Amino acid sequence: MESVSFLLLAVILTALAFDFTNGFHDTANSMATSIATGALSPRVAVAVAGVLNLAGAFLSTEVAKTISGGIVNDGQVSLVMIFAGLIGAILWNLVTWLLGLPSSSSHALFGGLIGAVWVGAGGSAVRFGAIVEKIVIPAVAAPVMACVVAVLATYLAYVITRRTAARAVGKGFRAGQVGSASLVALAHGTNDAQKTMGVITLALIAGGVLDHGAGPPWWVVLTAGLAISLGTYAGGWRIIRTMGKGLTDIQSPQGFAAETSATAVILASSHMGFALSTTQVCTGSILGAGLGRKLAHVRWGVAGRIAVSWLLTLPAAAVVGGVAAWVADQGTLGVALVGCVAMAAAAGFYVLSRRRPVSAENVNEMPAPTPQPTAGRAG
């Protein structure tokens, strides 16, 4: 019983570590455009997002129930599988953070769990129908919907204010962005914080602490909310730069339109229990804001790299989760080995990130292009 209790504690701590990475990985979702337009200073933006992520965690538990009993059969899931799935999700989050790519922390978590459960319990333990309904379809529909809504909202914002002085328009929409960005952060808490709640609840069920089908206890809601809030305050500056400056040129009316569009889609999905990717929704809305403004420049190369990361997230995290599950299933030594490898990899990613650091001070600076060699003259 002691080893099981120790493993359960290890799983809970690993889940909270994932929640922390989810926070700094997804800070850009709510605050990138406000930071880019100057509506909020970088430090104030991440502080506001952190507080509202915590508040949002208490508003609903529908998504948590989808995770704990929706995509896998909780009666066939072991603590080792959950631990391995979380490792797969954390490592993918760190890889994409290092590259500055706004990939989906949610899909990384789903992929890691699916791969680990598939290896550990077989395909029968994975509910593929629920995965298609609750994950795959929203993954395709939500960013498209957010993009379309943002295109219309941006177009209307510029049409309505076309006779107003540009300075007044900018000042008004920057003030509006404070509210709209705050709503995105609140909506993010209602969706993403719940995913870790669902994983911890699944672990408590697998460890025999809760009955099958149980919802998250209050302390799970609180700790998951705190972990994602602290991660958000840490600031995922590399991804904030990509979404705020790398994808398109953002003005304050576009930022306001993107944020309100994303909020509407995220809150509607949370209400219906769809564990969608807030990253994909917010990226889609920013792209829509770029398309909705005449003469705005969309960097399709950056958009293409982001799309590739979206396609790779679920299978890549599943492979890592599956391998981790196979190793960890060898016993206590296997669990320790997986944990040590994960910590070493995390330290390595951090060291690599220091070569070209991005912080609150330089987040709005586009990196200088790599100089191209010029051919020498023959002579």
Reported as a single tens digit per residue, the pLDDT across 236-292 is 899 999 988 888 888 889 889 998 888 888 777 766 666 667 888 889 999 999 888
- State how far the Cα of 377 lies from the Cα of 74, in Å rounded to an integer: 69
> How does pLDDT run across 23-67, given as a tens digit for each residue?
888 888 888 889 988 888 999 999 999 998 888 888 766 666 666
Average pLDDT of the chain? 85
The rounded percent of the chain whose pLDDT value lies above 70 is 90
- Check residues 119 and 132 and name the one with the higher pLDDT: 119
Neighbours of 375 (CB within 10 A): 5
pLDDT attached to residue 379? 37
Q: What is the pTM of this model?
A: 0.86
pLDDT higher than threshold 90 for residue 192: no
Contact between 28 and 306 (Cβ < 8 Å): no
Are residues 201 and 25 in contact, defined by beta-carbon separation less than 8 angstroms? Answer: no
pLDDT score of 378 more than 50: no
CA dist 195 and 188 (Å) reads: 11
Which residue has better confidence, 154 or 215? 154
3-state DSSP call for residue 72? Answer: strand
pLDDT of the residue at 295? 64
Among the listed residues 240, 262, 130, the one whose alpha carbon sits nearest the alpha carbon of residue 188:
262
Alpha carbons 54 and 4: distance in angstroms, whole number: 30
Least confident of 58-67, 80-89, 155-164, 304-313: 58-67
Q: Which tokens belong to 258?
A: 């993107």
Q: What is the mean pLDDT of residues 90-116?
A: 92
DSSP 308-320: HHHHHHHHHHHHH
Give the chain's length: 379
Nearest C-alpha neighbor of 24 from the set 139, 188, 203: 188
Q: What one-character DSSP code corresponds to residue 19?
A: H
User: Quick check: 22 and 196 in contact, CB under 8 A?
Assistant: yes
CA separation for the pair 128, 366 (Å, rounded)? 42
Residue 184: pLDDT band by 50, 70, 90 thresholds? confident
Proportion of the chain above pLDDT 90, given as a percent: 33
What average pLDDT does the segment 143-159 reach? 91
How many whole angstroms separate alpha carbon 362 and alpha carbon 238?
A: 10
Q: In the 8-state DSSP scheme, what is residue 125?
A: G
**Structure-token pair, residue 347:** 């330290």
DSSP 198-235: HHHHHHHHHTTSS-TTPPPPHHHHHHHHHHHHHHHHH-
